[in-house]
Each structure stands twice: as structure tokens, then as C-alpha cells.
Amino acid sequence: MKRILLLLTAVLMAATASAQEGAYSPDSGLPYWAPGRGEVDHEALRRRALVVLEREFGAFNDATGHLAQTAVAYCDAGAPREDLIAAFRDTWLAWAPLDSYHFGPVEANAAALTVNFWPDKKGFVGRALRELLAQPPEAQRDPATVAAGSAAAQGLPALEMLLYTEAPECPAVIGISAYLHQTAETLYADWFDPDGWADLARAAGPNNPVYLSAAEFTKTLYTALDFGLIRIADQRLGRPLGSYERSYPQRAEAWRSGLTVDIIGAQLDGIADMIEHGFAGDIREPDRAWVLQVIGQARSRMDKIGAPIADAVADPAHRIRVEGLQTKVNDIRSVMAQDIGPNLGVDTGFSPADGD
Amino acid sequence: MRRRDFLLTTGAGLIGSAAWSEAGAPKLLAAANDASKRAWLVALDQNAAEVFRLPLPARGHAAAAHPHRAEAVAFARRPGRYGVVLDCPAGREKARLDLPEDRHFFGHGAFTADGRYLLTTENDFDKGEGRLGVWDTADYARIDDLPSGGIGPHEIIRLPDGGFAVANGGILTHPDFGRAKLNLPTMRPNLSYLSADGRLMEMVEPPEAQRQNSIRHIDVDAQGRVAIALQWQGSPLKQVPALALHQRGGELHYADHPDTARLKHYAGSISFSPDGDEILVTGPKGDYLLVFDGRTGAAKGGLALPQASGVAPLGAELAVTVAGGLVIRQGGGFSRVAAETGLVWDNHLVPV
């Protein structure tokens, strides 16, 4: 293991060295531009960011495909339940980074709610699931039945309720998983098929119906990362934390399966991924390194909570650590606003063109 | 028992309140931000010159002017929650609308003709329902709330007969998702008509092909005909009308314009000219203004105007807020009025 690490380090050093020797590479965004260069290659950034997005939407597509197969194998062929649980977990963690990118195909397909109906303050998921379970078995396993029903029974929280309560798992788990896979396929296709959203972003310009310049796509990405951080701080952590007088363990996302903290970790990793490999060298090296370091600090605070979020918020000793993580996530937002936004030259200030 | 009083009472009370003349006789109100990003409600007189500006707690959207008293209510931009009542001659905040925890404003409101009540468009976001808040303007206490007739009620206007029209945009949003739109594939906007006492009288929905064309900002002419500025939420590659017209009892009439694409699927504000001859539709995203014939809806040209945002009658003309000032539409032409630089207008211009 140590040898592999050493080897990797050597390869990385070689790569860095060759980039430093060569001319500026728009693909890698290397070498990092010097402080004061003051220009961002938005087209190169877009090219790299689309690679990151394609990988992440592809991973979600693959995970849901595997989940759908595993559900059939579990219900129809007696495959081990652990396989299904593992596939469910992988699917949710593959979705986590995509929660930040609520624009384009995700918005057009209303996927934020169909994939992850949360927060569910009025118990819509339980009600919708009961309606699905009242259908004949053949209908339950048919994704068309799920498609025709409520969004609350089309995604991960409904699957979780099936798998972590006394509800009969089969064959509804087949229908929901199959529908979730259809959603993932649609999202991937709407993004990356010819004439999809990626092509729309590539064609940014004065006559583009959405992006008047490549810089506008950069702004969309930057805003999306900020949105993801708000979702972590205010919703994923803020909802279960409640107030000092009262915490709300069951308001934690995925509290039944205990995936809460892993989802937060996966979303943070996704944000770091976009900064490191998408924004890459088009943000100055010290700024990029610093924001990644602060994200790393958040990750290590997360690892030190030492209990599932739902339990941790209710226990004074652990609660402080959850609050500490929330503070750190807000710190990431400040660092982004202070260093990364201005660095990218994206104006997130007031404009009547923001619309309403 | 003040609840439902709204449905029963008539008549105005004008006890000891200043009239608009005492506040410099403003004709228009608009939210704006200055260079240091502070938010203001700015009032303009008949020459489009600034008469006063009052600070707002955060970014504003539209406002509503009391029909008799020199009071303006400025609303937060969604999903903001403030509604401040400004005593304009005194230059201070008079009251703040106390919104229930599970609501936010959509940024628009309208007074009843007698000025006794204020109606505000609101999101009951955990239920996903549009509501209209009813506030007693004696002390701006909340006395009731009514169904808006759809999801995402945006602009509400008073009609010549004292009733109201509500643009239910159809778009589901929730503050947990910021400003994200959550139901685009299934959205169903509508235009709803309410009686003067808030009862739902009529509702018209778009045909299937226009279902994703959000009904968002509206104006009415002297005959009660409603003009709608639309915001397309479907595939950005499609070209769809930015204007629809409606007369009570009829269907929606969609009006094409050769320059519609210049608006980038986003019609901002809309206004009939005072004589009803023209309709102006602003496009702050596309930096463009569309002109339509007020009676037929036929295209009458357009103009590139950076940050064309709010539009409202000013005397016999129409005023449009643009980057660096205003533009006046008069006699088929345009003239420019410069305003203090550094002020950026927000989306709407509201007549006093």
C-alpha cells in the first residue's frame, strides 16, 4: 500500500512538473495563473466542469441501474438483502453531489422532488407509499404505476421507508427502483445527449436562449455550489439541530437508514470535485487550495461527530460537534464568496435580470 | 371577531392620515439598490424626478400604494418574508406585516378600492398552496387569508369594478430549495378573478401547449381586459408568446411578436398605456422592450433597452425603468430621463 502511495505521489509530481514546464493547458487549467493575471478561461472551465458533471450524472445512472437489478434479484431470486441495502446506499450517495445542480434537466424534470422528496414535513411519503402498496402486486412492480403516482413515492425516501420499516418490501421496491433508474437515465440523456443541456452550455453566446456567454455557465455552477452548501448547513444540519431548546432527530435526512452524515460527506466531496477538477486552474492556486482545505476541515469535523446525526443532535456532548460542522460549512460559503466568486469574475450581486 | 369582517364591510375610514400630496405627490414607486447594495423604495413625481427614498430591510420586489393615505407597502422578493408599511410624509416605517411562520410573500399586493384592506400573494409552502393574506390597514393586522386559486400566486391587481385579478404562476417553490422551481413538468398556471370581497369568481387556464408558460405579471385596462406577461418554463429551444390577453368569460388570447425571442423567455413587467392604445412588455433578461397594440395585441415594434424592468402609467404616458434612469413612451416615440447613477431599479414600477 505504501509503495502504491509513493508511486502515485511520484506520478503526481511528474504531472505537475510537466505542466509547469509546458505552456498553459486549457484542459487542465494548468499551470495555475499567477495572482493578478485577472482573466478566466470560461470555455476551458466549462469543458472541464462538463466532464465532472458527466461523471457524476453517469455514476447516478449506473447506481440506479444496479439498484433496479438488485431489487429484482432480491425479490424474485432470493439474492441477499445486504446487496439490496448496499445498492440503496450507493444510489443515495451517488445522488448527493447532484443535489447541488438544481438547474437545467434536474429542474425541467422536477427531479429534486421525485428523486429525494425531503424535507417531508407533512408526511407525504408515507401516504403516497401506502397508496402504492394498496395496488395489486403486478402494478406495484411496474414503474408506470410509480410514474402515475405521487412524487413522494418515486424516490429514495420512499425506498428507505420500504427498507427500514415493517412495510412489505417486495414487489414495490422493484417498481420504485425501476422508476428511479428511468429518472436517472432521463437526467443523463437530457444533459449529455446531442442537443442536450451540455450542448446548450457549449453553444453559449448572444443568441443562446439560456447562456449569453460562457461566463454565465460559470456563474450557474458557482451559484449551484453555494446552493449545495446552503442545503447542507440549513437543511441537512439545521433541520435536525432545531433550536437549543429542542432538537428534531427525525427531521434528519435519511435518519432511518442512518445515511445522514454520509450524504453530507458525498455532497461536500462533489463540491470539492467541481472546484478541484472543474474550476481547477482558472481559480488562483492559493484560493483554490484554501477552499479545498476548509472543505477538508469540514470533512474531518464530520468524521469526529462519532454518532449518527439523528442521535448526535439530541445529545449535548455530540450536539456541539454537529453545530461545529454547521459553522464550518458556513465558513466554506464565506470563503467561496470572498475568494472564489470574485476570482471567477462572476457577479452574483443585484441585477433586475435575476428575474422573478 | 375581525375575521371575515373583510367580506362584509364597506366604506372608507380616513381618520387623521396624510394624503399623498403631503409626501411630495409621487406618481410612481419602485424598489432599487444603490451602489453599496442597500435596498430602497424610491418615489418619483410627474416628471419622473425622485421625491423621496426610504430604506428597505433587504432586496425588495414590488410595492403597493394606499389609494388615499400616503402609505406604501414594500414587499420582499421571494422567498423573503418582510412587508413594510412606510409612512411616506414622515419618512419612517409605520408597521411591519407579521406573516405566519409557514408563509412567505411573492412580492406583490393590492389594496381594496376603499383602502381598508390590503391583499398579499403568499406561499403556504409546506402545503404547496397559494394563499392571499388579508390585512386591516387600520393597524395592518392580519385578519384572514383566502385561497388564491392556484400554486405560486404572483401579481395581484385591483380591477376597475373593485374586484381583483391574480396571476397564479403555477410554479411550486419551497424556501428549503431557495428559488428553485420544483414542479415544471406538471405546472398549471391560471388567471383567477376575485370579487371585491375576495370570492373566487372565475379562473382561466392555458391550453396544453402553453401550460408551461407561467402567468406571472398582469395589468388591466379601463374595460377590465387583462394583459398578461408570460415566462416560459419549458424547453428553452421553443419559441412561445410573451403576451396573452383575456376578457372575462372568454379564452386566453396569445399574442405573437417577431421580437419575442429577444426577451429570453422572460417577460418582466407589463402595462397598458393610459389611453389603452398600447401594451408595453419589458424584458430585463434580454434588455429589450416589446410594444403591442392595446386592443388587438398586434406587434408594434420593440426597442433594445438595457435592464428594461418596470413599466407603469405616468400622466398620459408610460414610464419604463432602465439602466441609469427611465424611458418615457409618448406619441409613438421614446424619450429618456436620467436618474442618479449608481441606482439599479428592481423589477417593477408601481403607480400611486
Please state at what angle helix A214-230 crosses helix A42-77, rounded to 10 degrees: 50
Among A12, A48, A35, smallest CA distance to A279 is for: A48
Q: Examine residue B29 and state whether it is found in any structural domain, yes or no.
A: no
Taking the model in full, what pTM does it have? 0.87
Among B215, B245, B209, B252, smallest CA distance to B231 is for: B215
**Predicted pLDDT of residue A235:** 95
Between CA B176 and CA B197 the distance in angstroms is 33
Residue A349 confidence class, pLDDT cut points 50, 70, 90: low
Give Cβ neighbours of residue B264 (< 8 Å, ≥ 6 apart). A209, A210, A212, B283, B285, B286
ipTM: 0.81
Give me the residue from A210, A230, A350 closest to B59, CB to CB: A350
Q: Examine residue B81 and state whether it is found in any structural domain, yes or no.
A: no
Q: Examine residue B70 and state whether it is found in any structural domain, yes or no.
A: no
- In degrees and rounded to multiples of 5, residue A216 shows phi and psi of -65, -30
Q: Examine residue B33 and state whether it is found in any structural domain, yes or no.
A: no
- Write out pLDDT tens, residues A99-142: 999 999 999 999 999 999 999 988 999 999 999 999 999 999 99
Q: Examine residue B69 and state whether it is found in any structural domain, yes or no.
A: no
**Predicted pLDDT of residue A20:** 47
Residue A353 confidence class, pLDDT cut points 50, 70, 90: confident
Note whether B108 contacts A: Cβ–Cβ < 8 A.
no
Q: Residue B288: which CATH number?
A: 2.120.10.30
Ranges of chain B with pLDDT below 50: 1-2, 8, 10-14
Check CB contact under 8 Å for A350 and B284: no
- Write out pLDDT tens, residues B102-131: 999 999 999 999 999 999 999 999 999 999
Secondary structure of A79-101 as H, E, C letters: CCHHHHHHHHHHHHHHHHHHHHC
Residues of chain B with Cβ-Cβ distance to A119 below 8 Å are: 176
* Grid cell of A287 as nine digits: 484560493
Note which residues in 185-244 of chain A have CB less than 8 A from chain B.
195, 200, 209-210, 212, 227, 230-231, 234-235
- Write out pLDDT tens, residues A22-44: 577 777 776 666 555 567 899 99
**Predicted pLDDT of residue A6:** 46
Check CB contact under 8 Å for B180 and A107: yes
Residue B97, amino acid: L
Give Cβ neighbours of residue A2 (< 8 Å, ≥ 6 apart). none
Question: How large a percentage of chain B has pLDDT more than 70?
Answer: 95
Check CB contact under 8 Å for B344 and A351: yes
Q: Examine residue B59 and state whether it is found in any structural domain, yes or no.
A: no
What is the tally of structural domains in chain B? 1
CB A177 within 8 A of CB A160: no
Q: What is the largest CA-CA distance in chain B?
A: 56
pLDDT of A19 higher than 50: no
Give me the residue from A113, A212, A234 closest to B182, CB to CB: A113
- Buried b / exposed e over A248-267, threshold 16 CB at 10 Å, is bbebbbbbebbbbbbbbbbb
Residues of chain B with Cβ-Cβ distance to A210 below 8 Å are: 236, 264
Between CA A172 and CA A146 the distance in angstroms is 9
Give Cβ neighbours of residue B11 (< 8 Å, ≥ 6 apart). B114, B116
Question: How large a percentage of chain A has pLDDT more than 70?
Answer: 89
Coil, strand or helix at A195? coil
Q: Examine residue B322 and state whether it is found in any structural domain, yes or no.
A: yes
Q: Examine residue B83 and state whether it is found in any structural domain, yes or no.
A: no
Domain that holds residue B213: 91-351
**Predicted pLDDT of residue A7:** 46
